[in-house]
Structure 1
Amino acid sequence: MIVRDLNEAKNTERHVFSDGWDSVRLLLKADGMGFSFHITTIHAGAELHMHYKNHLECVYCVDGTGSIEDLATGRLHPIRPGVMYALDKHDKHILRADADKPMVMACAFNPPVSGKEVHQADGSYALEDA
């Protein structure tokens, strides 16, 4: 059984920082679950261009508001607590947090990340073997 406390993990190497976001990686590839699980904070006013071409991701909004734009269709979807989205087609997208407060997101990645990943220039995470 794996048990981790988010507040304790924030004070470890599992807390990764990047431009516009930070993420606490509670489950990683080394945990052997077949996916990774993160609590990610999208900073207020952030606009993140992403394309997880090597990973599938499912995201559930816990707090805050914003939007996700599907770059293939131009469709804009509002994000608020209780909304989930899944990037099942390695969708290119822009995630925006409203300016008044950050968005807190629970995220699962397949394949799992190893822990230190940040977005590459194309908005993706590299595969560990790459």
Structure 2
Amino acid sequence: MIVRTLEEAERSERRVVTPTWESTRLLLKNDRMGFSFHITTIYANTETHICYQNHLEAVYCISGEGEVETLADGVVHKIRPGTIYVLDRHDDHLLRGITEMKLACVFNPPLSGKEVHDEEGVYPLEAEPIS
């Protein structure tokens, strides 16, 4: 059985911080569950370009408000508490935090731990693992 708290993970190398978001990775590839699970904070008044060519992601909004715009068609979806969006087609998109948003995220295949977006919004398929 794996038991972790968000509080302890936030004080460890499982917390990854960038200028527009931070992500605490509670479950990773080395946990051998077949997916990873993260609590991510999107900072207010930010925009992040994302295109997960190597991963599928489901995102559930716990708190805050924002929007996700799919770049292929320019459609904007409002994100608020209780909303889930699923990137099931490696969707190229912009994620905007209107207020600070707290999100629960699941990735398949699982992340190793230290991934951050490259210049095209992609996470590498394999990154340096967190031990």
| TM-score for both structures, normalised by structure 1 | 0.96
Q: Per the alignment, in what secondary structure is the counterpart of residue 7 of structure 1?
A: helix
Question: Is residue 42 of structure 1 aligned with residue 39 of structure 2?
Answer: no
Offset of residue 19 of structure 1: 1.9
Per-residue deviation at 1:5? Answer: 0.3
Shift of 1:18: 1.1
Q: Could you give the per-residue CA deviations for residues 10-34 of structure 1, whole angstroms, max 9, x where no partner exists?
A: 0000001112000000000000000
Unaligned runs of 5+ in 1: none
SS of the residue aligned with 2:8?
A: helix
State the aligned residue count.
Answer: 127
**Separation in 1 of the partners of 2:46 and 2:31?**
30
SS at match of 2:48: strand
Distance 1:16 1:66 in 2: 21
Q: Which position in structure 2 is the counterpart of 1:112? A: 110
1:78-111, Cα deviation, whole Å (9 max, x unpaired): 000000000000000000011xx31000000000
Q: How does 1:20-99 map to 2 (within 5 A)?
A: 20-98=20-98
Paired amino acid for 1:68: V
Moved over 6 A (4+): none
* Partner secondary structure for residue 91 of structure 1: coil
Question: Superposition RMSD on alpha carbons, in Å?
Answer: 0.8
Aligned mates of 2:126, 2:55 — CA distance in 1? 11
For the residues of structure 1 that align with 2:64 and 2:8, how far apart are their CA atoms? Answer: 23
Aligned residue identity for 2:3: V
CA distance in 1, matches of 2:18, 2:29: 20
Which segments of 5 or more consecutive residues in structure 2 lack a partner in the other structure?
Answer: none
| Cα offsets for 1:30-88 (capped at 9, x unmatched) | 00000000000000111001100100000000000010001111110000000000000
Give the % identical residues: 59
Aligned-partner residue type, residue 54 of structure 2: N
